[in-house]
Amino acid sequence: MDLLSQIFVEPFALMVEMPDLLVQTLWEGFVSGVLYALIALGFVLIFKASGVFNFAQGIMVVFAALTLVGFYAMGVPAIGALVLAVAVMFALAWTVERVVLRPLVNQPDIILFMATFGLTYFLIGFGELVFGGEPKQMITDELMLPTGASDFEFGGGYVRIQHLDIAAAVIASIMIATLGVFFSKTRIGRALRAVADSHKAALSVGISLNQIWVIVWFAAGIVALVTGIMWGARSDVSFALQIIALKALPVLILGGFTSIPGAIVGGLIIGIGEKLGEFYWGPIIGGGIESWFAYVIALIFLLFRPQGLFGEKIIERV
């Protein structure tokens, strides 16, 4: 009976009793959700273009952020370092297309997936060789990102909003919207969708597969850079950040691997859901449930929609 009360009564009583904490939890979940959506977007872009789950997306986040901080440490002004970091991500996209993807055209998807494993370990080793293994501080002030917090009185308590979190939410939203428009309204976007539907058909109508892959990997690199800046500003830029990218997995399970709206909605559901779960139901079993609770949420949704919220329903004859 106690357990039932802890699950079905006490959390909701706490929500009513301390509404400020409920709003704070929802806000924290929203910010996390937007950032998860951003990470998931990097996966979705590449999956749409090549049918490959890019295991290297996490390390790309770290690599991009380290490149930015590394250039700044070498004396390059912050904006110059940002431009150079973008250039490095383009060079990475071009190199990946030339060295990894092009030789593997027409190979089974699993081969390409394994190649992204190789890319991950290469980038880890290369990154540690160039930048060292120690965490670096993000150049938050130099990039003119806001710091500090504002407190708002609410429900007998207060809600604290970090200015950086507002910036993260706004920048991530703009980024997602821009990419959404770019890939749905422009010629390149239509070409990407054609490639996603069928490589062979796209090739037959003159779409350059290689060019599309470079563009998509570059876009994923930009997404990685923005994600790295935002997460790095909240904590540090360290190789531990690549683990956070795994948070995108339940987002992708939920939203579908091919849907940009799915990444956004999935990110928000996972972000808010895991924060609510950890805060209100976590203490029942000693806390620390956030890391796996996201998968529980995703699996519950899968029971009803196996293809994910926005994923394509695949019917194959057997």
Partner 1 sequence: MSLRHLTIAAIAGAIVSTTALVAPASAQTQEGIYVPLLTYRTGAFAGSGIPIADGMHDYLTMLNERDGGIGGVPIVIEECETGYDTKRGVECYESVRAKNPVVVNPYSTGITLQLIPRAAVDRIPVLSMAYGLSASADGETFPWVFNPPVTYWDGASVFVKHIAEREGGFESLAGKTVGLLHLDAPYGREPIPVLEALAEEHGFELKLYPVAAQDMQNQGSVWLNIRRDRPDYIYLQGWGAMNPTAVREAIRTGFPIENMIGVWWAGGDEDARAGGADAAGYKALSFNGAGTDFPFIQDVITHVHDKGLSQFPRERIGDMLYNRGMYNSMLIAEAIRTAQEITGKSVVTGEDVRRGLENLNVTEERLAEMGMTGFAAPLDVTCENHSGNHDVFVAEWDGEKWTVGQDWTEPMTERVRPLILQAAQDYAAANPGWPARTETCDN
At 53, the amino acid letter reads F
CB of 218 to partner 1, least distance (A): 26
Our CB check for partner 1 shows the closer of 79 and 149 to be 149
Our CB check for partner 1 shows the closer of 17 and 197 to be 17
CB of 31 to partner 1, least distance (A): 8
Residue 117: CB atoms within 10 Å: 11
Residue 57: CB atoms within 10 Å: 28
Would you list the DSSP string of 192-238? HHHHHH-HHHHHHTT--HHHHHHHHHHHHHHHHHHHHHHHHHHS-B-
Coil, helix or strand for 149? strand
Our CB check for partner 1 shows the closer of 118 and 132 to be 132
CB of 155 to partner 1, least distance (A): 14
Chain contacts with partner 1 (rule: CB under 8 A): 14, 18, 21, 24-25, 28, 31-32, 124, 128, 132-135, 137, 149, 160, 162, 231, 234-236, 238-241, 243-244, 246-247, 274-275, 278-279, 282-283, 286-288, 290-291
Our CB check for partner 1 shows the closer of 28 and 97 to be 28
CB of 30 to partner 1, least distance (A): 11
Our CB check for partner 1 shows the closer of 91 and 299 to be 299
> Residue 33 in contact with residue 172, Cβ under 8 Å?
no
| CA–CA separation, 243 and 239 (whole Å) | 8
Q: Which among 28, 16, 67 has a CA at the least distance from the CA of 224?
A: 67
CB of 39 to partner 1, least distance (A): 11
Element counts in the chain: helices (H) and strands (E): 14, 2
